[in-house]
Structure 1
Amino acid sequence: MHHTMRIVKLITAGLLACGSLTASIAIAQASLPGAQWPAYNNRLDGVRYSPLKEITPENASQLGEVCRVQIDGPTSFHAGLIVVDGVIYTNTGRETVALDATTCAIRWKHTYVPDEEIVSPSSRGLAVLDGRVFRGTGDARLIALDAATGRLLWKNVIGSPRLGESAGAAPLAWQGMVFMGIAGSEHGIRGRVMAYDAQTGRELWRFNTIPMGDEPGAETWLRPESAKTGGGGVWGAMTLDVTTGELFVPVGNPWPDLDRAYRPGTNLFTNSVVVLDARTGALKWWHQSVPADWQDFDLAAPPVLYRTADVRDYLVFAGKDGYVTAVDRDTRKVVFRTPVTRIENAPAGPTPEGVRICPGFAGGVEWNGPALDLLTGSLITGAVDICFIVKSGESKYAPSEASFGGTVEPDGPATGWVTAIDSVTGEVRWRYHAEKPVVAGVTPTAGGVTFTGDLAGNLLVFNSRTGALVHKVRVGGAMAGGVVTYEVAGKQYVAFAAGNISRNAFGDLGLPSVVIMTLNPERRAAGSSSSGAAANAPATGGTAGKANPANGRRLYEQVCIACHGPDGNMIADRRLGGLGARQDLASTIAYIKDPKPPMPKLYPDLLDEQHVLDVATFIHEELR
């Protein structure tokens, strides 16, 4: 009896030891370099590079889809992807999801219900730190979720939607702090960036990106009262130097966008990279790329920080002006400034008749900036090539209403570029002209390949050294968000955001989905799609029944608000406010089904009969 019990105990102990060993191996694998993608740009210093080597120029054509999962209905999907311990975290404006990084199985999903009317449906992403997920919302809240369950841990009101403020930036989390900005330049906000305690949500400090009174830079607003609505929103992502404790914040455009006479001066800190002490929020220094801007040449993409072989510390950033700029952090002088898209500016300013500018209001480099390829020493950047006709007009402030101080209209086709430049000299090494804009993340790897995608819905894989396109595949929706790579159980995967409807929808559309690929996939997760077709299926089916204005409001906030604004009047010659008094419901329904460019056609692929009826009814009954 005792002998038998001893054997049982030995077997049990052995099994426990094996289990512990298996768990230890799994943890060790997750800790290997490149196994995870823990931040928006992988590293806090913005060096968006992976040391993984399994996928190479020689075998990249063998990439195949493992699985995909739709995470929301029709809306924008600009967010980055975070990968921690075999779980992918990402989000849309309202949904936050945790997915198995090898099967697409949903671990949990959190749906945010706004407390107030949202200002923007877009979100650039989230942050994960110490078992918590942090993200902003369209009604200017910052929330923390349990990374294991999705349970809401805390919520903090950080802005006022009534003043046009939202929280669409991707937060950055570090050493018990969460850094977040306020967006909404087109609504005449006064921008700012704040730090919060990661455990409690308590505000630790704030820095106003539009200075007033005795704040440094206030003297650059020659009409001081214009600073109160001066813009300067933070709507992309930030970068951190952990060795110096410096936070690098890209700041958006001034308001009104077109009317410099309304806000004379150089308008600090708009269109600037502002460098703050991460622990106190104190201003250390700044670099302004475009003073007194009238072309919407703001900065959103997180900068890149690196040291050259001759021990020069570079700050590199790219903006909507279409340039990649390097600044020496010691001398604060520009080292190089290289165009990465077509540049045809009209420097004199807008006129009532209109002037043509390129890259224009939705061009240049958007929310994903340069990626430093440590293998080749190249900076690789995606960009938008588009021109606009800009006309001057009246500047009139109204709380939460968007205004440009004129009108803007696309002129000609929208295409894209991927450009590799020397990270020391700025000289162009290679270029690729994409059929549609490139706003997705760019990810070079130690395997010698660089991943990105375009708004035509193509995954693009390049030979990082030569720029040769080694693989191109349709993914079933515009690529406008994160493109990441990671390793699980010794196998390299690539995951990306596909499907997007927003003001940058110049190509394919699609419903927000996460797609996972690997070399020669052997199986697909149960219920996952084997092609891009499922990503373009309508969210619901059937013919229209009774109108549901509440659902119409949600659709308007998810699909329409980015272009038309909360009040429907953001586009001067396409005002939706009071539309019900100017035309009947049937005419509005007909136009939504068959719109004129640049409005995207969403029916019947992404919106069905009920969707169209609901949103048209909401516009007629609520936007008065």
Structure 2
Amino acid sequence: MCCQLPEGGGRWVGSGQEFQEIQPEFRELRMIKTKRVLSALALSVGSLMCASTAWSQHGTDVSQGDWPDYNGNMAAQRYSPLDQINADNVGDLEIAWRLPTGDFGDNPEYNATFTPLEVDGVLYTTIGSQRDVVAIDATSGEVLWQWESIDSQERYDNAPRKGSGRGLAIWRDGDESRLLVITPGFYLVSLDAETGTLDPEFGDNGIIDMQEGLRLGPGREDIDIGSSMPPFVMNNVVVVGPAMAVSMRPPSMANVKGDVRAYDVRTGEHLWTFHTIPRPGEFGYDTWLDGSADYTGNTGVWAPMSGDPELGHVYLPVEAPTGDRYGGDRPGDNLFGTSLVAVDIETGERQWHYQIIRHDIWDWDNPAAPILADLPNGRKIVMQVTKQAYVYTFDRETGEPIWPIEDLPVPAGDVPGEWYAATQPFPTKPAGFDRQGITEDDLIDYTPELRAAALEAIQPFRLGTNLYSPPSVRGAEDGTQGTLSLPSATGGANWEGAAMDPETGMLYVPSRTVVAVLSVAKDENSDIDYSMALGVRVPRAMGLPIVKPPYGRITAIDMVEGEHEWMVANADTPSIIADNPALEGVDLPRTGVETRSGLLLTKTLLFAGEGTGGGPYLRAHDKQTGEIVAEIEMPGTQTGQPFTYEHNGKQYIAMVVSGQGQPSELVAYALP
């Protein structure tokens, strides 16, 4: 036997050896199938190695060639200083190894979005439909061990966020290493990183039931809460933000509240809870009128978090309250809905906050990890990229805006019973990185016929000429079916976030330009007055998007000056547009695709895929100009975030790809 088997719960599987022991109280949660992980799971050459042999290298951050956080580091910069792969040789990249995911979990995943961590030559990641955890040799793709999730079938079936999720977190202290993962059924689990076994010193034999201690929605028997993002670990504290089901058509105005909770990473002791919807007497409770804070839910933190270990601040990108399209039953500004909140990592006490949208009725949650940077001019900032295509920028210690944010009037609507905020905050710098609001000038005009078709297509709708033009009723008195809005509820930016170059102060933001219809109607199956209307489609003109391209883009922003440097369309013009008969003879620009790419920054290059729904290409861009240096065709479309690491003198770039009718797979590239 080449590895010492652990004592206590969990299971180690690898190198032909099998170990299985489940804590007694969890024996009935899920039937565990003992199985041998064969090297055939990874399409690479080499024998399966024991986990301990892969820990011979040490390194704890991107400067030493590792990728120990979901976004590379606690600052969420998605940057690595590695430069073995550069503009001169990036076109020579070839597949080093591939790991199919179809054999993990009860059902194959065809659109996996997880991003592994890499430390000392070992990748750690969630995988499979049940969100198992595996350790993988970073140079060969061989699976070293696998831990199977402990959710019961009922707990899993009722989970609002299923599947492999986006990943996990790691904690290290000397020779100790732990992996922290949240299961679909909402258990927080601590695993020994070397063996994959449950940590008996953490919580209840390695497990904390996150459904305990919730503030449930009055009258709701279901527990609509879970998470797909990794927990956040800093200063020996693990912080968990929750996610609920999408709230476009909620079954009730009441729901479980999205409180953020923190635990001692060694013992699992509960340290603090931050109430994203304040209790009576707490700061912000008075922003909920008519007692609506008592029953309203959601307002979770489903996006990744970030933190400053020296300040001891963890930054929470809070989502909107219950009812993505209607808030008449929650009158008021609704703190801390759609806010950026800095809390103390040890106590959970609020240090500062900024509400980015008052009384959100657009589903413009804060979707991405706040990005921290020490700029070349000495400023220490935090940036929140948003669905509405702004970068809100603050001093990360005090919360003071770096550039003025103007409070401007916004239009009220006429949905019966709705409460409208009179103003919203508009940053003066940087300018929006995508289209904001829609007018007739935004409509396509390749030919007179297409222009006429676009004008006709918008006739049944109101035009959302202001960024914050509100939803309207389907079948309103003026005969309209809703309000056209730009960006849509999926951005702008979304969970992919952005990438920050700490050496130059340049921020790179991927975004999409997609029109949405903000239309509400009565819902007989809910006690909420209005929900998203069904059956109202986004208009098109002769099969084409009604607005001008680009439909997917990458924007480079100088965060020292707050000015845009360049913008490029992301992806070539898709055939569904290029081959449209209405465009015959038209000299089209490069349109990009209606997807959001995952970005990776290295010392010399910006890497971008095309994201879910795009093509199977990874492009390397010149960071200074946006010019494409190389284009690599992959086995599938990039759906997980790309990341990079170096081990044994070789740099790798890896990511999850999906599509082509096959289950998702993890693919790593390297130079020959």
- Give the TM-score normalised by structure 1: 0.73
For 1:354 and 1:169, how far apart are their aligned partners in 2? 33
For 2:336 and 2:59, how far apart are their aligned partners in 1? 44
Does structure 1 retain, via aligned residues, the 8 Å contact 2:619–2:630? yes
Q: Against the structure 1 CA distance between its residues 25 and 37, is the aligned structure 2 distance closer, same or farther, given a 3 Å change threshold?
A: closer
Paired residues for 1:167-566 under 5 Å: 167-184=227-244, 186=247, 188-225=255-292, 228-329=295-396, 330=398, 332-333=400-401, 335=403, 336-344=429-437, 346=464, 347-351=468-472, 352=474, 353-394=481-522, 404-407=531-534, 409-410=537-538, 415-434=551-570, 435-455=592-612, 456=614, 457-499=616-658, 510-520=662-672
Q: Any idea what SS the aligned residue of 2:328 has?
A: helix
For 1:409 and 1:149, how far apart are their aligned partners in 2? 51
Does structure 2 retain, via aligned residues, the 8 Å contact 1:258–1:406? no
For 2:400 and 2:189, how far apart are their aligned partners in 1? 36
For 1:276 and 1:104, how far apart are their aligned partners in 2? 39
Does structure 2 retain, via aligned residues, the 8 Å contact 1:478–1:509? no
Q: Any idea what SS the aligned residue of 2:91 has?
A: helix
Equivalent of 2:72 in 21, 42, 45: 42
Q: Any idea what SS the aligned residue of 2:63 has?
A: coil
For 1:99 and 1:389, how far apart are their aligned partners in 2? 44
Does structure 1 retain, via aligned residues, the 8 Å contact 2:184–2:228? yes
Deviation per residue, 1:357-402 (Å, 9 max, x gap)? 1221222211121211134431011122212112112367869x9x
Query: Does residue 1:156 correspond to 2:208, yes or no?
Result: yes
The corresponding residue for 1:166 is 226
For 1:495 and 1:306, how far apart are their aligned partners in 2? 25
For 1:126 and 1:25, how far apart are their aligned partners in 2? 19
Query: Does residue 1:145 correspond to 2:191, yes or no?
Result: yes
The corresponding residue for 1:111 is 148
Does structure 2 retain, via aligned residues, the 8 Å contact 1:439–1:479? no
For 1:258 and 1:382, how far apart are their aligned partners in 2? 25
Query: Does residue 1:52 correspond to 2:82, yes or no?
Result: yes
Query: Does residue 1:120 correspond to 2:161, yes or no?
Result: yes
Q: Any idea what SS the aligned residue of 1:216 has?
A: coil
For 1:279 and 1:332, how far apart are their aligned partners in 2? 22
Q: Any idea what SS the aligned residue of 1:225 has?
A: helix
Task: Note the C-alpha offset of 1:468.
Answer: 0.8
Deviation per residue, 1:216-256 (Å, 9 max, x gap)? 11111113235532321211211110111000011112221
Q: Any idea what SS the aligned residue of 1:511 has?
A: strand
Q: Against the structure 1 CA distance between its residues 350 and 86, is the aligned structure 2 distance closer, same or farther, given a 3 Å change threshold?
A: same
For 1:29 and 1:128, how far apart are their aligned partners in 2? 13
Deviation per residue, 1:396-437 (Å, 9 max, x gap)? 7869x9x94545755555942211110122211122212334
Q: Against the structure 1 CA distance between its residues 418 and 176, is the aligned structure 2 distance closer, same or farther, given a 3 Å change threshold?
A: same
CA RMSD, 1 decimal: 2.8
Amino acid at match of 1:338: A
Deviation per residue, 1:160-194 (Å, 9 max, x gap)? 79221112222111232211111116254311111
Amino acid at match of 1:307: D
Q: Against the structure 1 CA distance between its residues 29 and 255, is the aligned structure 2 distance closer, same or farther, given a 3 Å change threshold?
A: closer
For 1:494 and 1:300, how far apart are their aligned partners in 2? 25
The corresponding residue for 1:70 is 100
Q: Against the structure 1 CA distance between its residues 439 and 158, is the aligned structure 2 distance closer, same or farther, given a 3 Å change threshold?
A: farther
Deviation per residue, 1:242-296 (Å, 9 max, x gap)? 1110000111122211113222211111111110000010111111211111111
For 2:401 and 2:501, how far apart are their aligned partners in 1? 23
For 1:96 and 1:106, how far apart are their aligned partners in 2? 11
Q: Any idea what SS the aligned residue of 1:268 has?
A: coil
Equivalent of 1:135 in 169, 181, 184: 181
Amino acid at match of 1:463: D
Q: Against the structure 1 CA distance between its residues 444 and 24, is the aligned structure 2 distance closer, same or farther, given a 3 Å change threshold?
A: closer
For 2:109 and 2:55, how far apart are their aligned partners in 1? 41
Task: Note the C-alpha offset of 1:41.
Answer: 1.6
Amino acid at match of 1:221: W
For 2:268 and 2:110, how far apart are their aligned partners in 1? 28
Task: Note the C-alpha offset of 1:473.
Answer: 2.5
Comparing 257-266 with 411-420, greater Cα deviation is found at 411-420
For 2:499 and 2:62, how far apart are their aligned partners in 1? 21
Task: Note the C-alpha offset of 1:205.
Answer: 1.0
Deviation per residue, 1:38-91 (Å, 9 max, x gap)? 111222122221111111122211111111112241254222221011111122
Q: Against the structure 1 CA distance between its residues 375 and 314, is the aligned structure 2 distance closer, same or farther, given a 3 Å change threshold?
A: closer
Does structure 1 retain, via aligned residues, the 8 Å contact 2:376–2:505? no
How many residue pairs align between the two structures?
490
Task: Note the C-alpha offset of 1:31.
Answer: 7.6
Q: Any idea what SS the aligned residue of 2:57 has?
A: helix
Does structure 1 retain, via aligned residues, the 8 Å contact 2:389–2:493? yes
Q: Any idea what SS the aligned residue of 1:223 has?
A: helix
Amino acid at match of 1:277: D
Does structure 2 retain, via aligned residues, the 8 Å contact 1:327–1:334? yes
Comparing 317-326 with 279-288, greater Cα deviation is found at 317-326
Amino acid at match of 2:665: S
The alignment-based identity, stated in percent, is 29
Return 5+ residue gaps in structure 2 as ranges: 1-52, 103-107, 200-205, 215-220, 404-428, 439-463, 475-480, 571-591
Q: Against the structure 1 CA distance between its residues 28 and 164, is the aligned structure 2 distance closer, same or farther, given a 3 Å change threshold?
A: closer
Query: Does residue 1:97 correspond to 2:134, yes or no?
Result: yes
Q: Against the structure 1 CA distance between its residues 145 and 232, is the aligned structure 2 distance closer, same or farther, given a 3 Å change threshold?
A: same
